[in-house]
Amino acid sequence: MSGLRYVYAVCRPFGTPLSAQLTGVAGVPPKQLTHHGLVAVVGHVPEEDFAERPLRAHLEDLDWLSATARAHQNVIDALTVVTSPLPLRLATVFLDDSGVRTMMEQREDAFLRTLDRLDGRVEWGVKVYAESPEASENTESPEASETTESSENPDSRPAPSPAKPVSGRDYLRQRRGQHRAHEEKWERAEEFSRRLHETLSGYAEETRIHAPQNAALSHAPGRNVLNAAYLVPRSESEAFVELVDRTKDDSPGLRVELTGPWAAYSFSGEDS
């Protein structure tokens, strides 16, 4: 088949076949390309989309990029079920099979060392979010519940609203109090995240702390306080998940999210 070669991952030879229904980027099923003790999982992709110039343009197209990333991830997820792959970066493309084999030859020692380190391990992601004070204030205000009570019981009367500041000094005092309360909330969230990370690190062979997610891009509510990845042996994964689940109710106003198990993207050395 003509076209360029899209490389998803490099791994050790594995005996369990991938599903015959599995398709990847451009709707093409992946195949295995063997070189010495390594296997590259590749697919054929069209030059009109993946040659250097059109690919550069496509990478600015968020819809195209999202669809390609999903197809790429489908193949990586399937590989993670049967082996411990070393995933390569999105849109790693070569001219032909010979180019892929040359790449494996040049990087063989590094690939083998990394695959030894990742063998039998998966990546789990843990994020901690702190609710913004505004969100918690807007869940359902006492005034709203009192209004409902009033409508149901004509004899009940709503409680008076908090007194407004009567002077500039009062206003500044209230503002300082609000600022102090917000700072204490973030400090508690950061302390909770620090303790959680220390505990989870005991189950992990390696950890990575990523930059907090940008709320405008992730659309996740709240402020991201912890964004961490953990390289965990498969044999320890059940205990790791149970530990995260037990912490979810430990601190009001915080939300703990667990994702995985993933191929070890954060530990592959392929980001640089």
Q: What is the pLDDT of residue 68?
A: 97
Given a cut of 60, is residue 12 above it in pLDDT? yes
Domains of the chain, each with CATH number or no CATH:
4-119 (no CATH), 123-140+183-267 (3.30.70)
Q: Which residue has the higher pLDDT, 170 or 165?
A: 170
Give the pLDDT of residue 133: 54
Is residue 249 very low, low, confident or very high in pLDDT (cuts 50, 70, 90)?
confident
Reduced to 3 states (helix: H, G, I; strand: E, B; else coil), residue 188 is: helix
Name the pLDDT band for 156 (thresholds 50, 70, 90): very low
Quick one: CA dihedral 171, 172, 178, 182, positive or negative?
Answer: positive
Mean pLDDT in residue range 50-54: 95
152 has pLDDT over 70:
no
Alpha helices in the chain (DSSP H): 47-50, 52-58, 62-82, 97-106, 108-118, 133-137, 142-152, 168-201, 215-218, 234-247
Least confident of 42-51, 124-133, 145-154: 145-154
pLDDT above 80: residue 37: yes
Query: Whole-angstrom Cα distance, residue 68 to residue 24?
Result: 8
pLDDT of residue 269: 83
Is the pLDDT higher at 163 or at 75?
75
Tell me what the pLDDT averaged over the chain comes to: 85
Provide the whole-model pTM: 0.76
pLDDT score at 137 = 44
- What span, in angstroms and rounded, lies between the C-alpha atoms of 30 and 39? 12
Q: What's the confidence (pLDDT) of residue 272?
A: 39
Position 177 scores a pLDDT of: 61
Q: What is the pLDDT confidence band of residue 161, given thresholds at 50, 70 and 90?
A: low
Position 215 scores a pLDDT of: 74
Closest CA to 74 of 211, 269, 263: 263
| pLDDT band (50, 70, 90) for residue 175 | low
**Distance between CA atoms of residues 254 and 241, nearest Å:** 18
**Res 231: pLDDT:** 97
**Would you say residue 222 has pLDDT above 80?**
yes
How would residue 103 be classed by pLDDT, with cut points 50, 70 and 90?
very high
pLDDT of residue 171: 64
Query: What CA–CA distance (Å, rounded) separates 11 from 40?
Result: 7
Q: Which residue has the tokens 């489908």?
A: 74
